[in-house]
Structure 1
């Protein structure tokens, strides 16, 4: 084989490993798997590390971060890393519950709105516009306060104030699907709107639903921590991140910065992991980018 023929072939040759790493889908899938592993570890961290670090040890109180206590200790000698992981695990479970219920409500409401149309659609759109017209954080605080400011009130407030964005998105998606030929044909064959929604529309919404569900998690987690910080959420006896941050405020002025800074950074990193996972799933499930 002549040299001029070999050189272009060598220039276009790439090892299999580099093809995998260079493929956008491969990189995105790897990022998604790593994010899921991190979040899984945080969810079940209480089972991994136990609760021995939560015991009071006055001889080790207010110690700065070290190898034995990476996040330091608090005013009662409790290990702050253990408290932070317990708090993150609790916040993630609350976020999992509230985001899941809120996403299901958004799915049902958005599908019903676009499927039935008419007065049903107009009423649902009016409700969604009403929610969007109110300041989001103020609305969450008002609902939590009206529900009693307890754990139950916290869960209800997050659920009732996070479904409408996804509902509007899924409604638009259903309206696009309804105009397709196979939906029109199914309607002419005499199938009811509920049958069409269950067999043709809902399967089409699965990718958008899961992406929306994952992207709801960080909002739910931050609002849980914020409401708990304000005293409208979880009980002060629970090792929640909001409680930890609230308690640390009185000690920051005397130099015990690790009591609030490190748990706060851990919370932001967990939220950012959810954002990365949501963006990765959107890339993997989008037909335009899934094959790049």
Structure 2
């Protein structure tokens, strides 16, 4: 087995693991809300690997449910951001200097404001909750990918086959969809995957600060926020395991993105 096949195998295992967490979280969503004060504040044991909280809720079930929610939000927001980036990059590179200047100015404006501050403002303005978080993350994570798409399109415009298509009378829309888009899909897909970890971390961050998902939902940000007041009482497991699993999921997404990027790179084709 060469390096390329090993990378494909590891990427496949990562996808299966993330899919299993997502499905398990949805199946356990009701169990994550069950309270039992007879088992409150139990340390990790065989019956409860991640312990229980001050309401007797199983922290393992709540952690898996919270990760599932974070993954679903990450998928949705990354997909929306990728579509925005693709459209903005195409428009900036094909619609003339005025459109290019306006879009580059918008990109610089969004990138000039700290992500977390802009996220909090958008989420708060939309009433927080699920759609406030999704909208905030989607509207702040497209800029880097849009610049990449714009640069790729500008390079493609100098290609001989694009110039021949223009001389044959094909319109900008036809050239973009038929000749440019197939070359942009690999960059778009890699950018989409690499946006997942950023989206997940930012969702957990603003929820932790109280500007994201509602406290009733078993989200990772909610779990970490609630557990802070109990750390001084020695209830270390309330924050440790959810935090470690959040980092684990983020690293899995980052590994997947890096692996897919190398697999699509022609320089690594024979490794």
Same fold, judged at TM 0.5 (above): yes
What SS class does the counterpart of residue 41 from structure 2 fall into?
A: coil
Number of equivalent positions? 271
Number of the residue aligned with 1:79: 58
* Residues 51 and 82 in structure 1, CA contact (< 8 A), matched pair in contact too: no
2:122 is equivalent to residue 122 of structure 1:
no
| 1:142 positional shift | 1.9
Matches of 1:276 and 1:208 in 2, distance apart?
A: 16
Tell me which stretches of 4 or more aligned residues in structure 1 moved more than 3 Å. 47-54
* TM-score when normalising by structure 1: 0.90
Which structure would you say has the larger Rg? 1
2:15 is equivalent to residue 36 of structure 1:
yes
| 1:28 positional shift | 1.1
Show CA shifts across 1:46-93 (max 9, x none): 355564354211111111111111101111111100000001101111
Number of the residue aligned with 1:141: 120
* Residues 54 and 82 in structure 1, CA contact (< 8 A), matched pair in contact too: no
1:132 maps to which of 111, 127, 138: 111
Number of the residue aligned with 1:225: 204
* Residues 28 and 280 in structure 1, CA contact (< 8 A), matched pair in contact too: yes
* TM-score when normalising by structure 2: 0.96
Matches of 2:74 and 2:68 in 1, distance apart?
A: 10
Number of the residue aligned with 2:261: 282
Number of the residue aligned with 2:195: 216
2:108 is equivalent to residue 106 of structure 1:
no
Matches of 2:178 and 2:31 in 1, distance apart?
A: 51
Matches of 2:171 and 2:188 in 1, distance apart?
A: 23
Show CA shifts across 1:214-267 (max 9, x none): 011111111111111111111111111111011101110000000011101010
Matches of 2:260 and 2:20 in 1, distance apart?
A: 19
1:249 maps to which of 224, 228, 233: 228
